Structure 1
């Protein structure tokens, strides 16, 4: 492979990684902006999960219901933390994607782009895995709630983790 062919091969990989990072960044920003523009729809979701007031009739979780958070101040603080995490995910992943796009054009920035994307993916993991699966799903028994968002959270985080593995890999030079 000639040097020119190698450069094209590497730039295509940078471009693919940039597109993936940018798409995740746009996703995070769309989710966050949707939560701000249509605040009430997802506020209801968060409020009911934290209050544990919509558990399925078959679930006898009286012992777990002592964990419920019914104070609107703390519920809104939790919702604000979710929106902040989604925003951080979006901004960091998009910035990382833009730097990888810069690298694809031959102007450098790949390492910083990957690092910013990694931080954005960490924000996503904290929101959708830790926040929804661990805290919401297990601590607040969201799995037994009519307001169960675990499967969506697992889908989001699965895609983001696969993307993280791909983006963090060294580029093939053959």
Structure 2
């Protein structure tokens, strides 16, 4: 990434996010990670700034992704036999990545969908099981690790797509020998 104001702002946001990831905020018997709140704030700002063309469709897609996240996490809690070999985090990760790649057309749209769906899914899951667990914690460090892994994976897929498109768009040089 070349040096720019956007890169500096992004760097400051990442550093603030890392600092806040170990701070817990207690509200009404629920402990919320400050990193979770920042992630959700970034996702909401991106949703407003980058304005999806079809906002209603984006909201419906987001709803399906949030439901999928919460469903698999609750399903793994009540029926752990299915997830003894494969951890539920990997199933949720793969499912939501596939949904992001299917629903989103551009990188920012995909990352925004990823961050919002994981944040809202985590909140829905935690609030759904809060009667079963005494300390309710929204957005622990494993959640933040899932968010970062997904964003990096989506960025890697985007860069790989750009690499393939530039490679396929090369024109052969005149006079060059053909290889068989």
When normalised by structure 1's length, the TM-score is 0.30
Q: Decide which structure has greater strand share.
A: 2
Q: Decide which structure has greater helix share.
A: 1
When normalised by structure 2's length, the TM-score is 0.29
